[in-house]
Amino acid sequence: MIDWANKKVIILDRDGVINHDSDAYVKSADEWLPIAGSLAAIAALNSRFRVAIATNQSGIGRGFYDESVLDDMHQKMAALLDEQGGHIDHIEFCPHHPDDGCDCRKPKPTMLKRIAETFSATTDEVVFIGDSKSDFECAENFGCDFILVLTGKGLKTLDKLAGKDLVVAHSMAKIVEEIA
C-alpha cells in the first residue's frame, strides 16, 4: 500500500490512464476521449497534490501528428478538466520515435525527474500512475511508488508483471476512493 501522508506529486501517464488509448494512436483532439471518471478523479487529486503528466508521444516521431496537434489534445483535456474543477500542473512528453535513442522516453526516468524538480519533490514524495510495463519500469528506475491502473493496457500489463510487487487499482476513480 501507499503511504499518502507524505506524497506531494501525482504523475500520470496519459493514454490508457486519463484518456482511451488506441493501437492506431490518438492522432487528433477529436480522437482524444477521456476515460469515465478520470477527469473527476484528477479534480479530486488537485485538492491535495500537484498533478502532472509524463507521456511518450511517439506518434510525433512517427509522423502521425505534430506538436501543435498534441497541444490541441492537451487544450481539450484542460477545457474538460476545467469543467470538472480540475487542472494539470505540468506536462512532460517525449516526442521521439522508439528507435531514436533519446534520453526522455519511458522507461527512462527523465520525465519523472524533470517533474519532481519542477515541484522540488523527492522520489518518496512522488507516485506514478500508469498502465504499461514501461510505466512500471520508469517508476522503478526513478525510485518512486507506482500504481498500475487496469484501464488502457493495464490488464495485459498485469499479466506481464506477474510476480512483481504491485499496487493495482481498477481506475483513477478507485485510487481517489482509496485516498479519501
pLDDT given at position 62: 97
Please give the average per-residue pLDDT across 80-105, as a whole number: 97
Mean pLDDT of the chain: 96
| Contact between residue 172 and residue 38 where contact means Cβ atoms under 8 Å apart | yes
Q: Name the band, by pLDDT with cuts 50, 70 and 90, for residue 133.
A: very high
Q: Hey, what's the cell of 54?
A: 509524463
Q: Which carries the bigger pLDDT value, residue 165 or residue 80?
A: 80
Please give the average per-residue pLDDT across 49-70, as a whole number: 98
* Phi and psi angles of residue 130, each rounded to the nearest 5 degrees, phi first: -150, 180
Catalytic residue among 3, 13, 99, 145: 13
pLDDT given at position 179: 86
Q: Name the band, by pLDDT with cuts 50, 70 and 90, for residue 41.
A: very high
pLDDT given at position 113: 98
Q: Enter the pTM of the model.
A: 0.97
CA 8 to chain CA centroid, Å, is: 16
pLDDT value at 178 more than 90: no
pLDDT given at position 63: 97
pLDDT value at 13 more than 90: yes
| 13 labelled catalytic | yes
| Closest CA relative to residue 135, chosen from 9, 15, 6 | 15
Catalytic residue among 3, 15, 124, 165: 15
* Number of folded domains that form the chain: 1
pLDDT given at position 1: 79
Q: Hey, what's the cell of 125?
A: 514524495
pLDDT value at 102 more than 80: yes
CATH number at residue 112: 3.40.50.1000
| 15 labelled catalytic | yes
pLDDT in tens, 139-149: 999 999 999 99
Q: Which domain holds residue 60?
A: 4-179
| Contact between residue 144 and residue 126 where contact means Cβ atoms under 8 Å apart | yes
* Phi and psi angles of residue 81, each rounded to the nearest 5 degrees, phi first: -65, -40
